[in-house]
C-alpha cells in the first residue's frame, strides 16, 4: 500500500502528517490550505490544524473567527453546522505572528533567564527579527517543527506566504543555520567578544557609532552574541525540520491558476521540490473556467449574437426594452463570450500540458463569490477531494 501512488487528495491527506500548500501570490494557497483542512476534519476525523503564515486575516474570517493569533484555536462546530455538516474530527487554526513567535522562541530556548531578558531587552532585537535572513519564513518552519513534534495533531496543513522566490521558504532553516555559523557574523562580533577591544578596530567602531547612533554596533554585536548561545539549537531544529520536510510524512501541494506567470512559477517549484527530494503530492489548478466555454456549439451562438444582434433583438419580447439597446447588449454578450472562450482554450492547453506532472492534478472551478465561510471552503474542497489521476 505504502508504495502505491496516491491518487486523490483524500488518500494523500489520510496518509500524511504535514501538507504544505505553495505557489505564487494570490493563486489560492490560503484558500486551498483551509479547504483541505476543513475537508480532512469533516471526512477523515482526528485533530487537524491549519497553520496559516499569511499575515492577512482572510482565513480568520473564512472560519468564522474574528481574530486569532499565534495560539491555536478550535473552529466551533456551529461554523460547520451553518454549512450543514457534522465533522468527524476537529478543525483547529493558527496564524503565524512573526514577532510573537520570535519572543516565544527566545523564551523557550534561551539558555538562562539572564540571556532571555537581555535578548528581549536588546534595542535592536525587534527590529532585527523583523528583517534578517527571512525571519518570517524561518519562524514559520520553527513553528511547524514545534507543532508537529508536540504530537497534538494528526494532520497539519501549512499555508505559505507569497514569496518572490518560492524556494526561500524551503531554504529558510538551512540559511539560518548557515548564517549563525558565518564568517561575517564572527568578524562582526569578534571585537566585542574580547574584553580587550582590539586597539586597531576601536576607532572604526567609535566612528560607526557616531554615524549610526549611540552604541549601534555594540547593540548589534551584543544581540548576536546572545543569540549565539542558542546556536546549536537553531542548527539542530533546522536539520530536524528539513528531515521532516523530506520524508514521506510530508507532501507539498503546488497551487496555481492557469495564467502563464503562475504556471511558470509552479513548474519551477515542482522542479525545485524534486531536486530537494521533497514529495510533490498534488497540483491544484485553481479558478479554472468552466468547460462549456470551449464548446463549438456555444461559440456559434455567440458569433450569431454578434453578427445578427438586430435580428435576434427583433425576435425577443417587446417589453424587454428598446430594440437598439437589446441588440447592443446581445452583441456585447456574444463578444465577451468569445473573449472568454479564447482564455478557456488557452487554459485547456495548459491543463493538458500539466496533466501528468503530479500523481494528482485537481482543478477547482472559478466560483461566483469569494470564499469566505466554511461552506465556501467545503465547496472548494469537494471539487478536489476525490479527483483521480
Ligand X SMILES: Nc1ncnc2c1ncn2[C@@H]1O[C@H](COP(=O)(O)OP(=O)(O)OP(=O)(O)O)[C@@H](O)[C@H]1O
Residues that bind ligand X (CB under 6 A): 25-31, 54, 58, 162, 286-287, 364, 366-367, 370-371, 380
**Cβ density class 175-205: b for 16+ within 10 Å, e for less:** bbbebbeeeebeeebebbeeeeeeeeeeeeb
Give the torsion sign (CA, 60, 66, 70, 76): negative
Between 306 and 345, how does the x/- string for binding to Mg ion read (CB under 5 A)? ----------------------------------------
Are 204 and 197 a contacting pair, CB within 8 Å?
no
**CA 18, CA 146: separation in Å to the nearest integer?**
13
CB of 84 to Mg ion, least distance (A): 26
Per DSSP, 194 falls in state S
Binding range to Mg ion, per CB under 5 A, among 27-35, 235-243, 294-302, 332-340: 27-35
Question: Would strands 361-365 and 90-95 be described as parallel, antiparallel, or unpaired?
Answer: unpaired
Cβ distance to ligand X smaller for residue 26 or 321: 26
Q: Which does 31 bind (CB under 5 to 8 A by kind): Mg ion, ligand X, none?
A: ligand X
The number of residues in the chain equals: 389
- Using CB under 5 A as the binding criterion, the count of chain residues that bind Mg ion stands at 3
Q: Which does 364 bind (CB under 5 to 8 A by kind): Mg ion, ligand X, none?
A: ligand X
Cβ distance to ligand X smaller for residue 31 or 250: 31
CB of 13 to ligand X, least distance (A): 18
Q: Which does 213 bind (CB under 5 to 8 A by kind): ligand X, Mg ion, none?
A: none
**Which of 20, 21, 26 has the alpha carbon at shortest distance from 262?**
26
Binding range to Mg ion, per CB under 5 A, among 51-59, 72-80, 295-303, 359-367: 51-59
Residue 156 pairs with which residues in a beta bridge?
Answer: 18, 49
Q: Which residues bind Mg ion (CB under 5 A)?
A: 29-30, 54
Amino acid at each position: 500500500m505504502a508504495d502505491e501512488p496516491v491518487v486523490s487528495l483524500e488518500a494523500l491527506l489520510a496518509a500524511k502528517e504535514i501538507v504544505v500548500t505553495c505557489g505564487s501570490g494570490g493563486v489560492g494557497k490560503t484558500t486551498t490550505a483551509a479547504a483541505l483542512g476543513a475537508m480532512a476534519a469533516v471526512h477523515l476525523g482526528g485533530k487537524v490544524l491549519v497553520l496559516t503564515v499569511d499575515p492577512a486575516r482572510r482565513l480568520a474570517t473564512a472560519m468564522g473567527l474574528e481574530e486569532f493569533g499565534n495560539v491555536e484555536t478550535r473552529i466551533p462546530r456551529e461554523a460547520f453546522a451553518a454549512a450543514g455538516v457534522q465533522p468527524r474530527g476537529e478543525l483547529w487554526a493558527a496564524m503565524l505572528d512573526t514577532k510573537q513567535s520570535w519572543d516565544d522562541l527566545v523564551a523557550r530556548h534561551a539558555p538562562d533567564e539572564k540571556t532571555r531578558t537581555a535578548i528581549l531587552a536588546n534595542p535592536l532585537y525587534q527590529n532585527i527579527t523583523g528583517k534578517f535572513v527571512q525571519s518570517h519564513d524561518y519562524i514559520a518552519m520553527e513553528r511547524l517543527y514545534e507543532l508537529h513534534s508536540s504530537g497534538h495533531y494528526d494532520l497539519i496543513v501549512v499555508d505559505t506566504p507569497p514569496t518572490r522566490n518560492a524556494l526561500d521558504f524551503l531554504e529558510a532553516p538551512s540559511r539560518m543555520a548557515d548564517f549563525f555559523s558565518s564568517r561575517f557574523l564572527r568578524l562582526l562580533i569578534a571585537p566585542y567578544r574580547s574584553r580587550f577591544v582590539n586597539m586597531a578596530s576601536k576607532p572604526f567602531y567609535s566612528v560607526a557609532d557616531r554615524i549610526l547612533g549611540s552604541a549601534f554596533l555594540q547593540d548589534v554585536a551584543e544581540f548576536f552574541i546572545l543569540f549565539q548561545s542558542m546556536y546549536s539549537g537553531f542548527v539542530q531544529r533546522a536539520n530536524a525540520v528539513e528531515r521532516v520536510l523530506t520524508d514521506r510524512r510530508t507532501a507539498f501541494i503546488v497551487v496555481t491558476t492557469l495564467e502563464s506567470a503562475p504556471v511558470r512559477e509552479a513548474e519551477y517549484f515542482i522542479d525545485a521540490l524534486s531536486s530537494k527530494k521533497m514529495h510533490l503530492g498534488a497540483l491544484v489548478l485553481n479558478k479554472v473556467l468552466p468547460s462549456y466555454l470551449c464548446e463549438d456549439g456555444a461559440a456559434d451562438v455567440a458569433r450569431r449574437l454578434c453578427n445578427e444582434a438586430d435580428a435576434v433583438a427583433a425576435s425577443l419580447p417587446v417589453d424587454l426594452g428598446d430594440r437598439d439597446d437589446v441588440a447592443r447588449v446581445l452583441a456585447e454578450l456574444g463578444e465577451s463570450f468569445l473573449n472568454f472562450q479564447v482564455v478557456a482554450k488557452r487554459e485547456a492547453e495548459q491543463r493538458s500540458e500539466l496533466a501528468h506532472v503530479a500523481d494528482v492534478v485537481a482543478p477547482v472551478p472559478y466560483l461566483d463569490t469569494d470564499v469566505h465561510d466554511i461552506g465556501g471552503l467545503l465547496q472548494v474542497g469537494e471539487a478536489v477531494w476525490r479527483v483521480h489521476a
